[in-house]
Amino acid sequence: MGAPPYRRRSRHGWLSRSPLISRPPTLRAKGCTSSGDTYSTTVPGLVVEAAVAKVLGFARHCKESERWTAFRTYWGIESFYCRPGLEGAHDKGGVEGQIGYFRRNHFVLVPEVASLAELNEMVDRWDLEDEGRRIRSRARTVGEYLAAEAPLLKPLPTELFETGRLFTPRVDRYSQIAVQTNRYSVPVRLIGWTVRVMLHANHLIVYDQGIEVACHERLSAKAGSRLELDHYLEALIRKPGVFLGATALEQAKSADKFTPVHDDWWDAARAAHGDKGGTIALSDVLLLGRHRSHEHIVAGLATALRASAFTADAVALEARKAAEADAPPPSPGLPERTRSPRAAVTLLADWRVSHLPPDTRPRPSVAPYDQLLRHRRQVGDTASQGEASWVPNTIAA
| Domain assignment of residue 20, yes or no | yes
| Domain assignment of residue 151, yes or no | yes
Clarify whether residues 34 and 137 are in a common domain. yes
Which residue, among 135, 34, 118, has the nearest Cα to 75 in the 3D structure? 34
**Percent of all residues in the chain with a pLDDT value above 70, rounded to a whole number:** 71
* pLDDT exceeds cutoff 60 at 337: no
* pLDDT exceeds cutoff 50 at 191: yes
CA separation, residue 245 to residues 253, 256, 286 (Å): 12, 17, 17
pLDDT of residue 144: 94
State the CB neighbour count (10 A cutoff) for residue 13: 22
| Domain assignment of residue 386, yes or no | no
Q: What are phi and psi of 199, to 5 degrees?
A: -95, 120
Clarify whether residues 138 and 252 are in a common domain. no
* pLDDT band of 141, cuts 50, 70, 90: very high
* pLDDT band of 18, cuts 50, 70, 90: very low
H helices of 331-368, in order, are: 348-354
| Domain assignment of residue 364, yes or no | no
Clarify whether residues 252 and 181 are in a common domain. no
pLDDT of residue 100: 87
State the CB neighbour count (10 A cutoff) for residue 20: 14
Transcribe 176-193 into DSSP letters: EEEETTEEEE--GGGTT-
| Domain assignment of residue 210, yes or no | yes
SS3 330: coil
Clarify whether residues 82 and 212 are in a common domain. no
Clarify whether residues 178 and 293 are in a common domain. no
pLDDT of residue 97: 79
* pLDDT exceeds cutoff 90 at 226: yes
Clarify whether residues 174 and 51 are in a common domain. no
pLDDT of residue 11: 38
Cβ atoms of 49 and 80 within 8 Å: the answer is yes
Clarify whether residues 201 and 317 are in a common domain. no
pLDDT of residue 344: 64
Lowest mean pLDDT, pick from 136-145, 224-233, 329-338 = 329-338
Mean pLDDT, residues 252-268: 95
pLDDT of residue 20: 31
Clarify whether residues 216 and 134 are in a common domain. no
Q: What radius of gyration, in Å, describes the C-alpha atoms of the chain?
A: 38
Lowest mean pLDDT, pick from 82-86, 189-193, 333-337, 352-356 = 333-337
* pLDDT exceeds cutoff 50 at 107: yes
Cβ atoms of 43 and 161 within 8 Å: the answer is no
Lowest mean pLDDT, pick from 145-154, 225-234, 319-328, 338-347 = 338-347
Q: What residue numbers bound the domain in which 70 lies?
A: 13-155
pLDDT of residue 329: 73
**Percent of all residues in the chain with a pLDDT value above 90, rounded to a whole number:** 46
Q: What is the total count of domains within the chain?
A: 3
Clarify whether residues 221 and 241 are in a common domain. no
The pTM assigned to this predicted structure is 0.66
pLDDT of residue 40: 56
**Domain termination site, one of 98, 133, 155:** 155
Clarify whether residues 115 and 245 are in a common domain. no
pLDDT of residue 318: 94
| Domain assignment of residue 34, yes or no | yes
Higher pLDDT, 316 or 11: 316
**Domain termination site, one of 132, 155, 178:** 155
Lowest mean pLDDT, pick from 93-97, 326-330, 366-370, 377-381 = 377-381
pLDDT of residue 379: 55
**Domain termination site, one of 271, 304, 326:** 326
In this predicted model, what pLDDT tens digit does every residue of 284-325 receive, in sequence order? 999 999 999 999 999 999 999 999 999 999 999 999 999 998
> What mean pLDDT value characterizes the chain?
79
| Domain assignment of residue 258, yes or no | yes
pLDDT of residue 166: 94
Mean pLDDT, residues 81-92: 69
Clarify whether residues 36 and 78 are in a common domain. yes
pLDDT of residue 168: 96
* pLDDT band of 14, cuts 50, 70, 90: very low
Cβ atoms of 204 and 184 within 8 Å: the answer is yes
Cβ atoms of 52 and 83 within 8 Å: the answer is yes
| Domain assignment of residue 179, yes or no | yes
Residue 199, beta-bridge partner list: 165, 204
Clarify whether residues 17 and 142 are in a common domain. yes
Q: Please list, in sequence order, all residues whose beta carbon lies within 8 angstroms of the beta carbon of residue 289, skipping any fewer than 6 positions away.
A: 230, 297
* pLDDT exceeds cutoff 90 at 377: no
